Structure 1
Amino acid sequence: MTKSLSICMVSDFFYPAMGGVESHLYNNSQCLMQRGHKVVIITHAHGNRRGVRYLAGGLKVYYIPALIVYSNASLPTFFCTFPIFRQIFIREQVDIVHGHQAFSTFCHEAILHARSMGLKTVFTDHSLLGFGDASGIFINKLLKFTLSDVHHAICVSHTSKENTVLRAALEPQQVSVIPNAIIAEQFEPDPGARDPSWITIVVLSRLVYRKGIDLLVAAVPRICKQYPRVRFLIGGDGPKRIDLEQMREQHLLQDRVELLGSVKAADVRRVLVRGDIFLNTSLTEAFCIAIVEAAACGLLVVSTKVGGVPEVLPRYMITFAVPEEDEVVGALGVAIGRVGTRDAHPELSPMHFHGQVKKMYSWHNVAERTERVYFKIADAEEPPLIERFRKYYGCGLVAGKLFCLVAAVDFLIGVVLAWLWPKEQIEIARQFNNDRYRMEISNKSE
């Protein structure tokens, strides 16, 4: 029998917000619980959703009030979250703290506090960052601080691993590659849902600069002009939506470009099965789970060749383009030509696409590989405090000293908190009975 662990996932990015990180957290946690582990999630409050909530399968989520500053990330407070994080870690008898996403303030703070308490830590990086812009330099230095004292790191693609190893100056053997996945059963093709009088191109994305919406704005009018039978379904919301609306008005494409706005997770398949081609115009992408969902629904995929995208799908499922306007238009033209030949090529049929994606990506496989990482570090010997300071000191002439100071202050705060609220006086949370939950669900379904 494998050892049961208590795992705390931490990120600013979780439901009800939508995205790849949110999906990864939820589905990986559910599969880890099915493997016998206890999983709780810490995130910031979303509107009226605050306090403790239970999701399907007994997944416990702590929604902590916090000030949101940018792109759903909370305001950095360094030490202010330590008291509540410590309470949760002790109440839930946490063995491993697993932070997600370099842009998440809660992730970095939770890992810092967990290390001050002597807990094991894991970090998963879901993004790619550059080295030449101000934001990239700042996040890279922050990541270097966090990963200097983390037990193991996970990346969602080999390209992402190379990027993280360079950004944080890590040893490659300290980083594992575990991709994202989907629940393939939720993305069954439905040939009857598409309109045969149109070739429909679907876009589902956050409408922000990083997702290449400027490329989309430039390409849509050219494609509509060259191919009279083509129309676009564009789902998602963000600051770039106004650019799409202006483009549609300027070129009189109201009948051929449908803007769906924000699309709920439960409605993603319903939108995808209406299409023939899925378009991704991202300028940077570590994995891109959206193209996997589209391929599972049987769509031909056109994507910019950036980051870890070339690792995701077989070449017969996807057409690549350099992230330039002419290249995107050309790649869409190739895909539009392939749509008419799908009936003559069984390997291009929607059901074949679905079957192949189902074999390649499974959350159960992701959970099993993540579990191996946990077991690898669970019994690792805890280094002395001075060794932690040596790791931080190596982060730079000035930054190293600052990082040592932050770690020292956090450790001292932990000592004070242990004196004010001794561990023995903190009530341990009751264990959720998963077996009883499954039995009740089974009885209701019968």
Structure 2
Amino acid sequence: MINILHAIDTGGPGGAETVFINLVTGLEKHNCRSHAVIPRKGWVHEQLNDRGVVPIIVKSKGGFSFKYLYHLIRIIKSKKIDIVLSHLFGSNVYCSLAGLICRVPVISVFHGFVDTSENESLVDFKFRLINWGSKHIVFVSDQLKAHYQQHTIVSRKKSITIYNGIDTDVFKPAKADNVRKELGFTNDNIVFGSIGNIRPAKGYDILIVAATQVIKEFPQCRFIIAGQGSGKLYESLLKKIKDLNLRDYLTFIGFRGNVANVLNNFDAFVLPSTTEGFSISTIEAMACGIPIVVTKSGGPEEIVDSGINGIMVNANSVESLVIGLREIVTQYDKAKGRAVTAIDDVNTKFNIQSMIMKYLSLLLTNK
């Protein structure tokens, strides 16, 4: 039995948090005992509780917290932790330091280009701690790994890639219309959808402008964006929708817990992101057999083979995105054919068991 401490410094929802939850619960089926440290109650807390895991809440807000570090050390010692699996930059720093103090191996995981902020202080020092305290540093795509190796002092020797995986028993073709009916859409409407919390890297401002052009040409098209939204960016996007007279055509529906159901309401999935470390939502859409249009934004370039299992367009380009959306509308049968290939690709390359077994192998090698 391996005693694993899992740590993440956000409460979700999101892609990194989904992977965190799946590893906490999935590894327990392989002679592992999982202990999960999270910063607060919320979506991650609820999901873990629903799956029979009682997380340990340790608050981690603000600057460097000796109190947070102290609690990590206490947990490692009291739970007799064999190895630590941490996610995202903040947790990676704290866990690497705690691992050094307790002489317990640590595996640090980076999920996105935005794991470190532009205003992050003492970045080089923090990466030195991660390099020193981590046995391995995992990136969820080769593109993400290359980015960090180019722009930070992260250890190349310790860096590896493990792709994210999803549960294809949950994400599978199962046509639904409940969200369409909720919004008053008919069977004649072509519904494009995006999944992801409202933040700059998601490129929703680009999608809104592209949607305006597509709707002028194909007025039967509708757009749905599902994800948490608040603050100035969200308000500015709502204003743009109003100014462009899109309120009858493009709708933010907020966070929805049953992502598979929401996806199966779409006729096509759109990822307009400017940067993506991987893109869980892309492989979820592919597993549901939905035609996809995604941007060349990092991780998706290792998922999508344009013209084979989806359509890939340039990031930060309204014109390129419009071309991709137009192709879905005008060649939908061809798009559905690519979607069949996409299902096979996810089942082969991006399934949850493959991901769990790769992490398990890493844990067994380093405990």
**Contact 1:11 1:101 (C-alpha < 8 Å) held by counterparts:** yes
Post-superposition CA distance 1:144-170 (Å, at most 9, x none) = 432233211111111112223334434
Partner of 1:187: 171
**5+ long unaligned stretches in structure 2:** 181-185
Using a 3 Å threshold, how does the CA distance of structure 1 residues 376 and 166 change in structure 2: closer, same or farther?
farther
Q: Indicate yes or no: 2:6 matched with 1:9.
A: yes
Q: Distance in 1 between matches of 2:326 and 2:109?
A: 37
Task: Say which of 92, 112, 117 aligns to 2:102.
Answer: 117
SS of equivalent residue, structure 1 residue 190 = coil
Matched, 1:20 2:15: yes
Match of 2:312 among 306, 320, 328: 320
Aligned-pair Cα RMSD in Å: 2.7
Match of 1:85 in 2: 72
The 5 A counterparts of 1:177-216 are 177-191=161-175, 193=177, 195-216=186-207
One-letter amino acid of the counterpart of residue 287, structure 1: F
Counterpart position of 2:183: none
User: Which string of whole-angstrom CA distances, capped at 9 and with x for unpartnered residues, describes residues 402-432 of structure 1?
Assistant: xxxxxxxxxxxxxxxxxxxxxxxxxxxxxxx
Of the three residues 101, 111, 115, the one matched with 2:88 is 101
User: After superposition, what is the alpha-carbon deviation per residue over 1:121-163, rounded to whole angstroms, capped at 9, x for unaligned?
Assistant: 11011112599x9437854653343223321111111111222
What is the aligned partner in structure 2 of residue 32 from structure 1?
27
Distance 1:165 1:60, change over 3 A: farther
Say whether residues 1:348 and 2:342 are aligned partners.
no
Q: How does 1:67-82 map to 2 (within 5 A)?
A: 74-82=61-69
d(CA) in 2 for partners of 1:342, 1:305: 18
1:276 Cα deviation (Å)? 1.4
Q: Which has the larger radius of gyration?
A: 1
TM-aligned CA deviation for residue 77 of structure 1 = 2.8
Distance (Å, rounded) in 2 between the aligned partners of 1:48 and 1:326: 36
- Deviation, 1:108, is 1.7
Q: How far does residue 370 in structure 1 lie from its aligned partner after superposition?
A: 0.9
CA-to-aligned-CA distance 1:365-408 (integer Å, 9 cap, x gap): 11211122122222xxxxxxxxxxxxxxxxxxxxxxxxxxxxxx
Aligned counterparts of 2:49 and 2:74: Cα–Cα separation in 1: 21
Q: Is the contact made by 2:21 and 2:44 (CA closer than 8 Å) also made in structure 1?
A: no
Q: Flag the 1:375–1:22 CA change in 2: closer, same or farther, 3 A.
A: same
Query: TM-score with structure 1 length normalisation?
Result: 0.73
- Equivalent position amino acid for 1:59 in 2: V
Q: CA deviation at 1:110?
A: 2.5
**Residues 58 and 68 of structure 2 are in contact (CA less than 8 Å); yes or no, is this contact kept in structure 1?**
no
User: Which amino acid is the alignment partner of residue 289 of structure 1?
Assistant: I
Distance of aligned partners of 1:219 and 1:139 in 2 relative to their CA distance in 1, 3 Å threshold: farther
1:281 counterpart residue number: 272
**Are 1:365 and 2:327 counterparts?**
no
Distance (Å, rounded) in 1 between the aligned partners of 2:73 and 2:127: 22
Indicate the residue corresponding to 2:234 in structure 1: 241
Q: After superposition, where does 1:29-428 map in structure 2 within 5 Å?
A: 29-46=24-41, 55-56=49-50, 58-66=52-60, 74-102=61-89, 104=90, 106-128=91-113, 134-135=118-119, 139=123, 142-191=126-175, 193=177, 195-238=186-229, 239=231, 240-264=233-257, 267-315=258-306, 316-322=308-314, 323-341=316-334, 347-348=337-338, 353-378=342-367
The one-letter amino acid of 2:33's match is: K
**Higher mean C-alpha deviation, range 92-101 or range 53-62:** 53-62
Q: Does the CA contact (< 8 Å) of 1:8 and 1:98 recur in 2?
A: yes
* Cα distance between partner residues in 1 of 2:36 and 2:141: 24
For 2:189, the aligned partner's letter is: W
For 1:243 and 1:222, the matched residues in 2 are separated by 19
* Count of residue pairs the alignment pairs up: 356
CA distance, structure 1, for counterparts of residue 51 and residue 224 of structure 2: 34
**1 CA distance for matches of 2:127 and 2:35?**
24
Shift of 1:243: 2.8
* Contact residue 129 and residue 136 of structure 1 kept, 8 A: no
Report the Cα offset of residue 250 of structure 1.
Answer: 2.2
Q: Which stretch has the larger CA shift, 152-161 or 242-251?
A: 242-251
What runs of 5+ residues in structure 1 fail to find an aligned partner? Answer: 67-73, 379-446
Cα distance between partner residues in 2 of 1:53 and 1:336: 37
How much has 1:20 moved relative to structure 2?
0.6
Query: Share of identical aligned residues, percent?
Result: 19
Distance 1:301 1:42, change over 3 A: same
Instruction: State how far apart, in whole Å, the 2-side matches of 1:160 and 1:47 are.
Output: 28
Contact 1:12/1:107 (<8 A) preserved: no
Contact kept, 8 Å, 1:217 with 1:243, in 2: the verdict is: no
Partner Cα separation in structure 1 for residue 146 and residue 121 of structure 2: 16
Distance 2:73 2:209 in 1: 50
Q: Distance in 2 between matches of 1:349 and 1:49?
A: 31
Deviation (angstroms), 1:8: 0.5
Q: Which amino acid aligns with 2:37?
A: I
Task: Answer whether contact 1:53 1:61 (CA < 8 A) is retained.
Answer: no
Partners of 1:140 and 1:167 within 8 A in 2? no
